[in-house]
Amino acid sequence: MTSELNESGLTLLQKIQFYIGNGGRNIISGLVNVAFVKYYTDYIGLDPKWMGYVYIFFTVWAALNDPIFGLWADKRPFKKGFGKYRPIFIGSLPFLVAITIAFPWANPSWSQLGISIYLFAALTLWETASTLIGLSYGAIATNMFLTTAERAEVEVIDNYLGVLSIFGNTIPIMILSMDVSNQTMRIFFGIVTIIAGLIIAISIPVMRESEEFYKHDQIGNMTFKDFLGEMINLLSEKAFLFFFLTFLLFQRVASNYLLGLSYFYDNVVLSKGVWTGLPDILIGIMGLMIFPLAAKWIRKYGTKLVVSRMIVVSIVGYVLLAFVPATEGDALNMFSIFGFEVPGEKSYWLATLSYFVVYFGFCAIYTANGPIKKRLIDYLEIQTGKRRPGMIGGALGVLMTPGTAIYVFLYTQIISAFGYDGASKIQSASSQLGIRLATGLLPAAMIVLGLYFFSKYPIDKETEDWVEAEMLKKHRSGETKIEDEPQPQTS
């Protein structure tokens, strides 16, 4: 009998090859969502207030393109020798790389409006390519891995390979805190982007799409008007509604924590170079130890229970971070240990400890994110009789994409209101307070609200097991109809 951890038929090496492409995507996403924000405020000279405005306007397109492309992708026929979603992935990759390379080429001499227009155009084009890559990647992964056990396993693999993201966020943050030229940063960003694109391409040979699988599709004749109706129907589904509300808050905080880290260590702790990015590297190492445990707990206790318990720890970490004192003077105090210079300020180590606590909870989010979304797609297939990974992914994109923009908007508006000056590493007491509030209390409040919504999410461990059994019966046995069996009662 096929093992639950190898139900897809892929070897461990092939699963690693598939998810290393996602590691490359994380590099590029880190550049756009973290490094370029700091780069534009500190190197290009864009006022954080204008940065917030750009992200709010950008959200309109970011929200609209997800359902359009998701529906289009789901309606595409399967082509022998090519697949259904795979050609979208391959065709979008060069566009993604080219647009990312263009990001840092705004001219500091331009007006605030001119810089904002350039950034908006780059974000809009990048989001188009990123959406096509993401929805095709997600649809292929959802259809390749069907059991909770294998989904948890590959999510751990994905998280391990996620360490590649340090080349898109952590290492750029280190360099941005040092005295390097604008031209050097542009060259660095370009090299990193090209390498990331090559890494993404590694996953293409192991992307598998079976024509047999898609014979169950029932979305071929759906129009955009029908899609809007489906969106309304989805929002009436309790599972979809509370998944969206929960992960709008959880996931956007977890995926953007480095934004706060970059400002906090650079302008409150006053660290430079390697000491600015080292905390993220250290907590990433901790994550490599926690991910397998989180996957084991998810298989044993269910996604909902594990995530709701572990994310509480992140709230504690963020509250602690808000009260970390600023470094006194104009530089981080260092002292020598066996000839090696290390930070001697308590603010540095208290901030690092706080981020360790924060990241422990995020380990649950990172491990559960893939399995819980895929299981939601399975659950909705049972409810409606239609398998629509692209459309559901697009619908979630419409609803969740604004989360990133709103987070960036709120963060930049808070630090701008308290007087942040991107041209100076040394900030006023008021500015440091703003950074502390935006970095600590803002995400803590978002997670608390997310926990409230998650308490109403109906898919518990019993329901997960039932849905898995139905999916295997339908898609692995060749049956076209899910038998009418009683659905587990959920709270």
d(CA 247, CA 396): 10
Please report the pLDDT score of residue 148 as a whole number. Answer: 72
With beta carbons less than 8 A apart as the criterion, state whether 239 and 379 touch. yes
Cβ contacts of 106 within 8 Å, gap of 6 or more = 40, 44, 46, 115, 118, 119
CA 135 – CA 389 distance, rounded (Å): 8
Over residues 317-333, the pLDDT tens digits come to 999 999 998 888 777 77
* Mean pLDDT, residues 120-140: 89
Amino acid at site 76: R
The pLDDT score that the predictor gives to residue 212 is 66
d(CA 407, CA 417): 15
Q: Report the alpha-carbon distance of residue 435 to residue 417 in Å, rounded.
A: 10
Task: Looking at the structure, give the CATH architecture of the domain made up of residues 11-460.
Answer: Up-down Bundle (1.20)
Instruction: Compute the distance between CA of residue 250 and CA of residue 248 in angstroms, rounded to an integer.
Output: 6
User: Which comes out higher in pLDDT, residue 272 or 99?
Assistant: 99
Nearest alpha carbon to residue 200 among 129, 265, 289:
129
User: In this structure, is the dihedral angle defined by the CA atoms of residues 299, 303, 305 and 308, taken in order, positive or negative?
Assistant: positive
Q: How many CB atoms lie within 10 A of CB 222?
A: 17
Domain ranges of the chain: 11-460
Question: Which residues are CB-neighbours of 140 under 8 A, at least 6 positions away?
Answer: 83, 85, 86, 89, 207, 208, 209
Q: Average pLDDT, stretch 341-366?
A: 88
Binned at pLDDT 50, 70 and 90, residue 484 comes out as very low
User: Global pTM?
Assistant: 0.68
- pLDDT bin (cut points 50, 70, 90) of residue 127 is confident
Mean pLDDT for all residues in the chain = 84
pLDDT at residue 171 tops 60: yes
The residue-averaged pLDDT of 348-361 equals 92
Q: Is the pLDDT of residue 155 over 60?
A: yes
Backbone angles phi, psi at 303, to 5 degrees: -65, -45
pLDDT, tens digit (0-9, with 9 covering 90-100), for 180-210: 899 999 999 999 999 999 999 999 998 887 7
Tokens of 2: 């096929």
**Lowest-confidence range among 45-49, 267-271, 398-402?**
398-402
Band of pLDDT at residue 483, cut at 50, 70 and 90: very low
pLDDT tops 50 at residue 486: no
- Do residues 70 and 401 make contact, with C-beta atoms less than 8 angstroms apart? no
What's the confidence (pLDDT) of residue 223? 65
Under DSSP, the state recorded for 83 is B
Query: Which residue, among 299, 455, 293, has the nearest Cα to 363 in the 3D structure?
Result: 293
Report pLDDT for 72.
Answer: 77
Residue 310 has pLDDT above 60, yes or no: yes
Report which of residues 223 and 470 the model is more confident about: 470
CB neighbours of 415 closer than 8 A, spacing ≥ 6? 48, 263, 431, 434, 435, 438
- Residues 374-422: tens digit of each pLDDT: 888 888 888 777 777 767 766 776 677 667 777 888 898 999 999 998 8
The dihedral sign for the CA sequence 181, 187, 193, 196:
negative
**In percent, how much of the chain has pLDDT > 70?**
89
Q: Residue 341 pairs with which residues in a beta bridge?
A: 336
pLDDT of 1 > 60? The answer is no
Q: Write down the pLDDT at residue 418.
A: 93
The torsion angles phi and psi of 341, rounded to 5 degrees, stand at -80, 125
**pLDDT score of 60 more than 90:** no
Q: Is the model's pLDDT at 479 over the cut of 70? A: no
* Average pLDDT for 325-353: 81
Average pLDDT over residues 289-298: 89
Per-residue model confidence as pLDDT tens digits over 79-123: 877 888 889 999 999 999 999 999 999 999 999 999 999 999 999
The pLDDT of 351-376, averaged and rounded, is 88
Mean pLDDT of 475-480: 54
Pairing of strands 334-337, 340-343: antiparallel
DSSP-derived 3-state class of residue 79: strand
DSSP 329: S
pLDDT of residue 93: 95
Whose tokens are 């995507």? That residue is: 25
Closest by alpha carbon to 205, among 89, 95, 100?
89
At residue 341, the 3 state secondary structure works out as strand
Counting residues of the chain whose pLDDT is more than 90, the rounded percentage is 32
Give the pLDDT confidence of 459-473 residue by residue, as tens digits.
988 888 888 888 888
247, 455, 271, 248: which is closest to 355 by C-alpha?
271
In single-letter form, the type of residue at position 155 comes to E
